[in-house]
Amino acid sequence: MTVSGSAATAQPVVTLIDEFAKLPGIGPKTASRLAYFLLRASREEANALAEAILEVKERIRLCSVCFNTTESDPCAICADPTRDRSICVVEEPLDAVALERTGQFKGRYHVLHGAVSPVEGIGPDKLKIEELLIRVRNEDPDEVIVATNLDLPGEATATYLHRLLVPLGVNVTRPASGLPMGGDLEYADEVTLGRAMAGRRAL
């Protein structure tokens, strides 16, 4: 949502508010607060934020194996020979971070970068699904855990993946109940998420 300029608001401030408003979960009011916070901040603080954003864009890439965010390729988890031969499929990098914090999963991840959602124009071809199938064929994992979110897109994605993975002869599971319906994995507490992973069920 573009903020209209006015005599009371300088154009650079309007532009900054518009850029903040493009961020997920940031509405016009929060975008305005962030912009005016930066106006009050010192030049050093503003430069530190700008440099951090540029450094992320310059140094962070996607792992060529699991498509998680990483500084090195392959990422530390994919390169770790002590991880077991299971793959946990998640929608976003933050989901892998949340699951890793539980300490319940010792395998590797595969990040889809979204979920199937026809309403939003997101089909399977826009996700890292074909790459997952190639991994499963090449790595022959003991188990594939489909840990997509428990909302309609997440459930649709889980059903779609199940249909593709079962013919490959792999054991496909889903985290157990205990996670709230409609909730995102990244917001679940570690205990609930850990129990859901420990008690996963066949999909």
Clarify whether residues 48 and 98 are in a common domain: no
| CB of 199 closer than 8 Å to CB of 178 | yes
| CB of 144 closer than 8 Å to CB of 134 | no
Residue numbers of the domain that contains 110: 69-202
Clarify whether residues 40 and 111 are in a common domain: no
Residue 2 forms part of a structural domain: no
Q: Is the pLDDT of residue 167 over 80?
A: yes
Residue 139 forms part of a structural domain: yes
pTM tops 0.85, yes or no: no
Would you call the peptide bond into 124 cis, given omega within 30 degrees of 0 as the criterion? no
User: Average model confidence (pLDDT) for the chain?
Assistant: 89
Clarify whether residues 79 and 128 are in a common domain: yes
What confidence tier does 104 reach under pLDDT thresholds 50, 70, 90?
confident
Residue 20 forms part of a structural domain: yes
Q: Which CATH number covers residue 28? A: 1.10.8.420
Q: At what angle do helices 129-139 and 152-165 cross, to 10 degrees?
A: 40
Average pLDDT over residues 18-37: 95
